[in-house]
Amino acid sequence: MVIKVGMADMNVCAGSDSIITMGLGSCVGCVLYDPVSKVSGMVHVMLPDSTSITQNSNKAKFADTGVAELLDRVIASGAVRTRLVAKIAGGAQMFSVNTNSPTLRVGERNVEAVKKKLSELKIRLVAEDTGDTYGRTVEFFPETGEYHIRAIGKELRII
């Protein structure tokens, strides 16, 4: 079965299922993964920081609260905290006008914020495919630990 994760959404996955988010742009798809139990989860975050925004009830929307909530969810599903590793993808800059504008650099800031949160939580980041200027569809396979990244006009990348 393929478990779907939408924009500002998260889900957990294990066994022979896979977990997918389609059409990632400036958002980041962060996977937490226990290589032994195979329990995994993915969060699709849109914005770097929940504390600077008043409408912050949806935890999956933000890098800081999203990664923390995903950690709780995978542990509740049987992952072991000390074995968890992370893989991330996304954070593209889709348009190049006004590159100084913080809203357009949000991809880069999302990637930084996810990394910062992972390091705070002491989760090792083992692979990433981030930045650049194109959209990505990302699918994670818990059985093999492979994170598949597809983009228009590009070959499948596995990290």
Partner 1 sequence: MSDTSLENITAQYIDVLAELGNIGAGNATTALASLLQSKVDMKVPQVKLLEFKDVGAILGGEEQEMVGSYLGVEGDITGSILFLVKKDVALHLVTKMMMGYASGDFGEMEQSAFKEISNIITGAYLNALSTMTNMCIYPTVPDLAIDMAGAILSVPAIQFGIYGDNILLIQSQISDEIEIDGFFIMVPDIESYEKILKALGLIS
Minimum CB distance to partner 1 smaller for 48 or for 145:
48
Residue 23 in the binding site for partner 1 (CB under 8 A): yes
Residue 102 in the binding site for partner 1 (CB under 8 A): no
Among 68, 85, 104, 125, binds partner 1 (CB under 8 A): 104
Q: Which amino acid, 125?
A: L
30 catalytic, yes or no?
A: no
Residue 138 in the binding site for partner 1 (CB under 8 A): no
Classified as helix, coil or strand, 102 is: coil
Residue 112 in the binding site for partner 1 (CB under 8 A): no
Tokens matching residue 34: 């226990």
Set 27, 114, 118, 123: catalytic member: 27
Among 17, 35, 37, 58, binds partner 1 (CB under 8 A): 58
Residue 69 in the binding site for partner 1 (CB under 8 A): no
Total residues at the site for partner 1 (CB under 8 A)? 33
CA 105 to CA 11: how far, in whole Å? 26
Tokens matching residue 18: 């896979």
| Distances from the Cα of 109 to the Cα of 19, 76, 104, 134, 154, angstroms | 24, 29, 10, 16, 25
CA 128 to CA 4: how far, in whole Å? 20
Minimum CB distance to partner 1 smaller for 55 or for 82:
55
CA 63 to CA 59: how far, in whole Å? 8
Options 10-18, 51-59, 78-86, 119-127: segment touching partner 1 (CB under 8 A): 51-59
